[in-house]
Chain A
Amino acid sequence: MSTDDDIDTPPDDEERHRRLLDETDYDTDLGLELARDAQRVTAGELSEAAFYRRYHDRIVEEFEMDDREIDLPDPDALAAGEGGDGGVGDGSGDAGGFLDRLGDALEGFDPDDGESRRSVMKKGAAAGALALGGLGSTGGAGPGDGTAAGAAGSGEEGDGTRWGMTINLNNCDGCLACMVACDQEHNLSRGANWMYVFAFEDENQGEETNFLPRTCQHCTDSPCTKVCPVGARHTREEDGLVLTDYDICIGCRYCEVSCPYGVNYFQWGEPDVPESEIDDDHQIDDRGRWVGSRPPEGVMGKCTFCVDRQDGQMGEEKIGTTACEEACTMDAIHFGDLNDPESPPNRHLREYRESQENDRSDYPNRKEHTVSTFQLLEERGTDPNVTFVGNAPSQDARQVDGPVTYEEMGLTDNRKEVLDQGAEAAGGETA
Chain B
Amino acid sequence: MTAAPAALPPLLALASLSAPLPALPLLAGSADYTLPFVGPGTYLIFGIVLLPVYVMVGAWFLGDPSDRFANLLGVGYLAGLTTVLWGSLLVATLVIGAVFF
Spell out A's residues near B (CB within 8 Å).
6-7, 156-159, 162, 164, 166, 220, 225-226, 234-237, 240, 298, 338-341, 345-346, 349-350, 353, 368-369, 383, 385, 387
Contacts and interface: CB of A to CB of B under 8 A. Distances in A.
A238 B29 CA distance: 14
A390 B30 CA distance: 25
A235 B27 contact: no
A341 B28 CA distance: 7
B20 A341 contact: yes
A353 B33 contact: no
B33 A368 contact: no
B27 A166 contact: yes
A233 B33 CA distance: 12
B18 A339 contact: no
16 contacts: A6-B20, A156-B18, A157-B18, A157-B30, A164-B27, A235-B34, A237-B34, A240-B33, A338-B27, A338-B29, A341-B26, A341-B28, A349-B24, A350-B22, A353-B24, A368-B24
B26 A225 contact: no
B31 interface: yes
**Interface hub of A225, A350, A385, A387 (most chain B Cβ within 10 A):** A350
B27 A387 contact: yes
Given A7-B20, A156-B18, A353-B24, A339 B30 contact: yes
A346 B33 contact: no
B27 A345 contact: yes
Nearest to A337: B28
**Interface hub of B21, B26, B27, B29 (most chain A Cβ within 10 A):** B27
Contact of A236 (B18, B22, B33, B35): B33
B interface, size bucket: 10 to 19
B27 A159 contact: no
A162 B29 contact: yes
Nearest to B23: A368
B28 A349 contact: no
Contacts of A339: 28-30
Contact of A220 (B22, B33, B39, B101): B33
Contacts of B21: 157, 341
A220 B35 CA distance: 10
Given A156-B18, A157-B18, A349 B27 contact: yes
B26 A346 contact: yes
Interchain residue pairs A-B with the least CB separation, the first 6: A158-B30, A235-B33, A346-B26, A338-B27, A220-B31, A157-B28
A220 B33 CA distance: 6
**Interface hub of B18, B22, B34 (most chain A Cβ within 10 A):** B22
Nearest to B39: A226
Contacts of B26: 338, 341, 346, 349-350
